[in-house]
Amino acid sequence: MLHIKCPYCGMRSQNEFAYGGDASVKRPELNKEISDSEWDNFVYLRKSLRGKHLEFWHHISGCRQWFKVQRDTATHEIFKTLKPNEDI
C-alpha cells in the first residue's frame, strides 16, 4: 500500500485516496476551435509509461483535494507531490 503525501494533509495511506489519471494532460480551453486529432489526444490517448509518471490523486477520504503525484510506475517510488497549480 502506497504512502502518499497529500500537499494539504501530509503522509497518508493509499486507501484514503483515489487515483485520478495522467496529470500531464491539459484540457483544451472552452470555446476554442481544435482539430479532431487534438481532441482525440486529450480524450483517449495516454502514454503507458514505465518510469516517472505525473498523475492526479484525489484525497477522497480526507481533504477532498485533487493534487499531482510524480511516481515511478515500476517501483512505486514517489518523488514529489504538488498542488494542482504547481509544476515539477
Q: Using CB under 5 A as the criterion, which residues of the chain lie in contact with Zn ion when the complex forms? A: 6, 8-9, 59, 62-63
Q: Which residues, including other chains, have CB under 8 Å from residue 58's CB and lie 6 or more apart?
A: 17, 18, 19, 20, 64, 65, 66
Nearer to Zn ion, 54 or 57 (CB): 57
Nearer to other proteins, 26 or 47 (CB): 26
In the list other proteins, Zn ion, none, the entry touching 7 (Cβ below 5 to 8 angstroms by class) is none
Q: In whole angstroms, how close is the CB of 37 to Zn ion at the nearest point? A: 37
Task: Give the binding site for other proteins (CB under 8 A).
Answer: 1-3, 13, 18, 20, 27-28, 30-31, 34, 36, 39, 42-44, 56, 58, 60, 64-66, 75-76, 78, 84-85
Q: Which of 26, 25, 16 is nearest to 57 (CA)?
A: 16
Nearer to Zn ion, 13 or 38 (CB): 13
CA–CA distance, 28 with 48 (Å, rounded to integer): 21
